[in-house]
């Protein structure tokens, strides 16, 4: 086990901890900046199995902070989950990695939770985090919340039946509409959140609960703030996810055919419940304009728009914030 010698020399982990790490299965939801860096750390640390989930593909503006990707991935429009898996297997071929190109929904996520020891939140929106929150409370799986924008970030470790959940914390968390697509982000803010997330992950994986941080950490690297907030008392008995009679609101509605504007990205996502036959679609689209194809998606430049069709039935329409406009272009092209 030469590979992990330095980690095993670290007393709190040791040989016993390393063995535990190698037996664990971590799910990472989102393979953007937080997901890349967490996955990189956990793969190098020797986590036995990683499940990666992401709905997007690699774009040039990702390279500034999403450390697993290359210009070649951008050129080939490789889905992030696939590109991440490939890179991580080059880093550590001894671990097992599963990649899913998909949207996180109740129906898509539930079957993937079997055998999961820990979930890393690397999403970029609160809708998905609430879905995660409610689902993981229901299945009693610990998870580590993380978010960052600009030069700020925060993280908190959520243990079902013990700590407050994300819904309980909402009063303490400054949720603004800011996203990294609207106000930007610097890479060290990502790394700082990930340092907190991965460290907590290692503690959970070696079952060293008493070392967990227990406070909500928030920081602003540019303005030199660093704050630990005690939130033990935020846990609410009436919480719909972790209270005495939970009803898990985010698990209620199953939106399999929902269209949505991707916040701050001038992009609309259209979802159909059926998988797309990329070969048939390719023949059709090629008559309209040149297309770019790989095993996972087809993209086409049309007027001032770029449409990207994924196998799982989703389509991204870049170049508009209007669902109506996006739908009309989608139906013109895909019928």
The set of residues, in sequence order, having a beta carbon less than 8 Å from that of 61 and lying 6+ positions away, is none
Contacts with Zn ion in 196-235 (CB under 5 A)? none
Question: Closer CB to Zn ion, residue 154 or residue 242?
Answer: 242
Question: Closer CB to Zn ion, residue 137 or residue 179?
Answer: 137
Question: Closer CB to Zn ion, residue 167 or residue 314?
Answer: 167
CB of 189 to Zn ion, least distance (A): 27
By the 8 A CB rule, do 12 and 206 touch?
A: yes
Question: Closer CB to Zn ion, residue 160 or residue 313?
Answer: 160
CB of 79 to Zn ion, least distance (A): 33
Question: Closer CB to Zn ion, residue 24 or residue 167?
Answer: 167
Using the rule CB under 5 A, which residue among 242, 285, 300, 316 binds Zn ion? 242
> Which range touches Zn ion (CB under 5 A), out of 57-65, 105-113, 167-175, 306-314?
167-175
> Which range touches Zn ion (CB under 5 A), out of 145-153, 162-170, 278-286, 308-316?
162-170
239 binds Zn ion (CB under 5 A): yes
Q: What is the DSSP string of 153-175?
A: EEEEEE-TTTS--HHHHTTTS--
CB of 250 to Zn ion, least distance (A): 12
Using the rule CB under 5 A, which residue among 52, 68, 165, 285 binds Zn ion? 165
The set of residues, in sequence order, having a beta carbon less than 8 Å from that of 299 and lying 6+ positions away, is 77, 291, 292, 306, 307, 308, 309
> Which range touches Zn ion (CB under 5 A), out of 139-147, 154-162, 174-182, 239-247?
239-247
Question: Closer CB to Zn ion, residue 137 or residue 147?
Answer: 137
CB of 131 to Zn ion, least distance (A): 14
Under DSSP, the state recorded for 275 is P
168 binds Zn ion (CB under 5 A): yes
The Cα–Cα gap between 141 and 133 comes to 10
Count, residues near Zn ion per rule CB under 5 A: 6
Contacts with Zn ion in 127-146 (CB under 5 A)? none
CB of 132 to Zn ion, least distance (A): 13
CB of 241 to Zn ion, least distance (A): 5
By the 8 A CB rule, do 255 and 291 touch?
A: no
CB of 194 to Zn ion, least distance (A): 25
- Tokens describing residue 58: 């690699």
Coil, strand or helix at 230? strand
Using the rule CB under 5 A, which residue among 167, 196, 203, 271 binds Zn ion? 167
> Which range touches Zn ion (CB under 5 A), out of 72-80, 111-119, 157-165, 271-279?
157-165
Q: What are the residues binding Zn ion (CB under 5 A)?
A: 165, 167-168, 239, 241-242
């Amino acid at each position: 086990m030469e590979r992990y010698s330095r980690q095993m020399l670290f007393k709190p982990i040791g040989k016993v901890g390393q063995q535990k790490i190698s037996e664990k299965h971590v799910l990472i939801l989102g393979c953007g900046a937080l997901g890349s860096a967490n996955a990189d750390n956990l793969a190098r640390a020797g986590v036995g199995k990683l499940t990666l989930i992401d709905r997007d593909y690699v774009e040039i503006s990702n390279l500034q902070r999403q450390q697993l990707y290359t210009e070649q991935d951008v050129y080939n429009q490789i889905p992030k989950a696939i590109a991440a898996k490939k890179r991580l297997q080059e880093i550590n071929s001894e671990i097992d990695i599963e990649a899913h190109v998909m949207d996180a929904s109740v129906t898509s996520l539930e079957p993937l939770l079997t055998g999961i020891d820990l979930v890393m939140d690397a999403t970029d929106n609160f809708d998905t985090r609430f879905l995660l929150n409610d689902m993981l409370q229901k299945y009693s799986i610990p998870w580590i919340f993380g978010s960052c924008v600009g030069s700020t970030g925060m993280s908190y470790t959520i243990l079902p039946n013990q700590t407050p959940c994300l819904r309980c914390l909402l009063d303490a968390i400054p949720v603004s509409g800011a996203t990294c697509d609207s106000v930007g982000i610097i890479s060290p803010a990502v790394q700082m959140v990930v340092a907190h997330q991965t460290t907590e992950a290692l503690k959970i994986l070696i079952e060293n609960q008493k070392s967990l941080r227990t406070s909500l950490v928030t920081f602003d690297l540019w303005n030199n703030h660093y704050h630990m907030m005690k939130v033990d008392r935020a846990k609410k008995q009436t919480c719909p996810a972790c209270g005495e009679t939970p009803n898990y609101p985010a698990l209620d509605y199953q939106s399999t055919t929902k269209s949505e504007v991707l916040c701050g990205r001038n992009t609309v996502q259209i979802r159909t419940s059926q998988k797309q036959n990329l070969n048939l679609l390719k023949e059709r689209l090629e008559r309209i304009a040149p297309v770019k194809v790989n095993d996972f998606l087809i993209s086409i430049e049309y007027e001032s728009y770029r449409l990207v069709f994924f196998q799982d039935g989703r389509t991204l329409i870049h170049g508009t914030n209007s669902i109506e406009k996006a739908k009309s272009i989608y139906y013109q092209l895909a019928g």
